[in-house]
Structure 1
């Protein structure tokens, strides 16, 4: 990338451009229902957009847990397919980790689907640990029906 990627906090006007490409970024999987507009309004201090030449090429939506005062949570991360494996995600995650620490958080949690092998590998690579469970696949523990019937999830935690 010739020009540096710019990281900034999300704003409500980011919702439409992101939601319009979200399903395409996931290869046609319907993901847009998982990202309502409220995240772009109520979690701006802990959610970030990556831009290159004024175009959104990635985003991270996260928040501070209200129930667990030492934790922050990453809800959704998306990187434009043309910009994957170029460090955009890493920059977004580092920004979130730094922000979480500024708010006194010592742990970050997130989840992914057990079928999303690239997400699992990425999270393990950047220092997340998969939380233990009796159910495992390929040595990776996952939690049955975590997000509803048939919606199994790998639960990750990273200590800051």
Structure 2
């Protein structure tokens, strides 16, 4: 993006990209992206963890609160998997977001978040929650820029509050919340 490139309006997706709801048939492409787009973060074990976090059921049961972005050649460009909490009527939850490496900084991630915030607000939700891995520093910085605040953890890792074993033994997470 250059200085002369116009900044997209909130929730705007570049005109050459297509925004739609994900379908179960998109699952293989999402699985491939989850293995490839994170630049080897966590090695093979990290890729498998990411893949296991997005089973097909999310595309079957939460498609109405999730988004997928494709390029003109139908290649996957970005996605957001989110849902409205069934337990807490105030809360919406962003489960997983990915933007292809060459699509970072083009505003599509922000646009997906803003669309989800709007969807959650329209559904009467007042907050959005999400988590990330403590070693994913890009994600930590991104969520701070998006207006999320860190929630307390049971330990501190270089100034980051970490919840030990949040997703099981050895699967520590950082938790965020953003008021709408």
The alignment's TM-score, normalised by the length of structure 1, stands at 0.93
| Alignment partner of 1:159 is 2:179 | yes
- Select the structure that is richer in strand: 1
Q: Moved runs in structure 1, 4+ residues, more than 3 A?
A: 1-4
Which among 80, 89, 94 is matched to residue 69 of structure 1? 89
CA displacement, residues 134-157 of structure 1 (integer Å, 9 cap, x when unaligned): 411222211111111111110000
Instruction: List runs of 5+ in structure 1 lacking aligned partners.
Output: none
CA distance in 2, matches of 1:95, 1:14: 20
CA distance in 1, matches of 2:25, 2:65: 16
How does 1:11-90 map onto structure 2 within 5 Å? 11-28=23-40, 29-30=47-48, 31-53=50-72, 54-90=74-110
Q: Which residue of 2 aligns with 1:103?
A: 123
Deviation at 1:34, TM superposition (A): 1.2
| Alignment partner of 1:93 is 2:113 | yes
Deviation at 1:97, TM superposition (A): 0.7
Count of matched residue pairs? 160
Instruction: List runs of 5+ in structure 2 lacking aligned partners.
Output: 2-13, 41-46
Change beyond 3 A, Cα 1:33–1:134? closer
Deviates more, 1:111-120 or 1:4-13: 4-13
CA distance in 2, matches of 1:18, 1:149: 26
Deviation at 1:107, TM superposition (A): 0.5
